[in-house]
Amino acid sequence: MGNKKMKSKKNIDGNAFLLLITIVLFFAMYIIGVIAFHQQGFGKTQNFLNLFISNAGLIVIAAGMTVVMITGGIDISVGSVVALTCMMLAWMMENKGMGAIPAAVIVLVMGLVFGFVQGWLVAYLKLQPFIVTLAGMFFARGMTAIISQDMISIKNEMFLSWAKYKIYLPFGGYVNRKGVMIYPYIYPSVIIALLVLVVVFIMLKYTKFGRSIYAVGGNEQSALLMGLNVRKTKLKAYILAGFLTGLGGFLFCLNTCSGFVEQAKGFEMDAIASAVIGGTLLTGGVGNVFGSLFGVLIKGTIEAFITFQGTLSSWWTKITIAALLCFFIILQSIFASAKAKKKK
């Protein structure tokens, strides 16, 4: 029996191993960046914090994506929904003269409703999640264009004050040439994003709903036989993801302060890739929001590389992310087939 115990420890397992690769990859990349771009100041604390600042929205959306993917589904509408969110915020505040708070509440509700409709189609009509969210993706993008085909910049004072409110950290500072102590800072969006991560993490680990999500993704048939409500669980997962996409879109908008049709194109890829790179299985049942955080950070680091390097076009980010996604998907596939073989 002692032998058996050893075996199970050793087996923890393909999935954890994948996550480990991700974490190591991130730190390796970051260290390479610090060495290669030493002169330009890659190693500054602020540069590290910028990873969080520029990706706060993505962190939130990737968390929602992780939840949906654990149930065995997927949501490729998120990029378009972010565009729609930004456009609605900009339009409501600039063209309709609405206040920042009601506008924010409306987009959050919009995300929730969007998630509900998609979730209902997936859970109750049993349509393929991919087809449903593909249609959702085109629907949201089209709606953005219907609201306005021109770019709207946000000038609402309250909104801009949210966007520019710096929170200085009491440590990690340095003294600049003029002899002034400069402390690194973050925006409120970073705190919101990290808060969301913690809440979703607790929800997944310590609530009945959270565990049902894993059970449904692990084996739907079994979950049903064990007395769980599979449909309701899926619906709730999509609603949660929809809400988080709305919230993520809001945070995204705090960075860009504008709304336009082409915004956040390919964002779904960033979110899916972050989740997959962070150890979420495409087949469902396995995943962790903190893993997805590392996925996001890797994407941010690649972006930072390209900015610091200066001559490479931004398209390289997309291609590298796609290549990484491809690499991790293939790894997952190989692990899965190896596991199946071992079973036999």
Partner 1 sequence: MEKLKKITSYRLFLPLLCLAIVLMINIITTPTFFQISVKNGVLYGYIIDVINRASELVILAVGMTLVVSSSAGTDISVGAVMAVAGAVCCFVLAGGQQAVNAYSNPYILGFLAALVVGVICGCFNGFLVAKMKIQPMVATLILFTAGRGIAQLVTKGQITYIRVDSFKLLGANIPGLPLPTPIFIAIAVVIITVIILKKTALGMYIQSVGINSRASRLVGLKSTMIIFLTYAFCGLCAGIAGMIATSRIYSADANNIGLNMELDAILAVALGGNSLGGGKFSLMGSVIGAYTIQALTTTLYAMSVSADQIPVYKAIVVIVIVALQSPEFAKIRKKIAGKFHSEKAESKKEVA
Partner 2 sequence: MEQDIVLTMRNIDKNFPGVKALQNVDFTLRRGEIHALMGENGAGKSTLIKVLTGVEEFETGEIKIEGIDHPIINKSPQEAQIHGISTVYQEVNLCPNLSVAENLFIGREPKKGGMIDWRTMNKKSKALLEGLDIHIDVTAALENYSLALQQMIAIARAVDMSAKVLILDEPTSSLDDGEVEKLFHLMNRLKEQGVGIIFVTHFLEQVYAVCDRITVLRNGTLVGEYKIEDLPRVQLVAKMMGKDFDDLAAIKKEGASSVKDEVIIDARQLGHKGTIKPFDLKINKGEVIGLTGLLGSGRSELARSIYGADKPDSGELYVKGSKFHANTPLDAMMQGMAYLPEDRKAEGIIADLSVRENIIIALQAKRGMFKLLSKKEQEEFTDKYIDLLQIKTADRETPIKQLSGGNQQKVILGRWLLTNPDFLILDEPTRGIDIGTKTEIQKLVLQLADEGMSVMFISSEIEEMLRTCSRMAVLRDGSKVGELKEEELSQDSIMKAIAGGAN
Residues that bind partner 2 (CB under 8 A): 1, 4-5, 7-9, 11-13, 202, 205-208, 211-212, 214-215, 217-219, 221-223, 225-228, 285-286, 339, 343-344
When asked if residue 28 is in the footprint of partner 1 (CB under 8 A), the reply is: no
Provide Rg for the chain, Cα atoms: 21
> Least distance from C-beta 32 to partner 1, angstroms?
22
Cβ nearer to partner 2, comparing 15 with 22: 15
Cβ nearer to partner 2, comparing 13 with 157: 13
- Chain positions 123 to 162 lying near partner 1, rule: CB under 8 A, are 124-128, 130-132, 134-139, 141-143, 145-146, 149
When asked if residue 222 is in the footprint of partner 1 (CB under 8 A), the reply is: no
Q: Which of partner 1, partner 2, none binds 222 (CB below 5-8 Å, type-dependent)? A: partner 2
> Could you tell me if residue 322 is left (phi over 0), alpha (psi between -120 and 50 degrees) or otherwise beta?
alpha
DSSP letter, residue 123: H
- Contacts for 174-183 with beta carbons within 8 Å, 24 or more apart? 174/44, 174/45
Residue 151, both tokens: 């770019």
Residue 159, both tokens: 């909104």
Nearest residue to 154 (alpha-carbon basis) of 87, 249, 84:
87
For helices 78-90 and 129-147, angle between their N-to-C axes, nearest 10 degrees: 20
Residue 265, both tokens: 């194109």
Residue 241, both tokens: 């993801």
When asked if residue 76 is in the footprint of partner 1 (CB under 8 A), the reply is: yes
φ, ψ (nearest 5 deg) of residue 290: -70, -30
Binding mask 165-184 for partner 1 (x = CB under 8 A): --------------------
> Least distance from C-beta 319 to partner 1, angstroms?
4
When asked if residue 339 is in the footprint of partner 1 (CB under 8 A), the reply is: no
> Least distance from C-beta 122 to partner 1, angstroms?
11
> Least distance from C-beta 254 to partner 1, angstroms?
24
Query: What are the CA-CA distances from residue 242 to residues 112, 116, 238, 270, 295 (Å)?
Result: 5, 7, 6, 16, 20
Q: Which stretch binds partner 1 (CB under 8 A): 13-21, 49-57, 188-196, 262-270?
A: 262-270
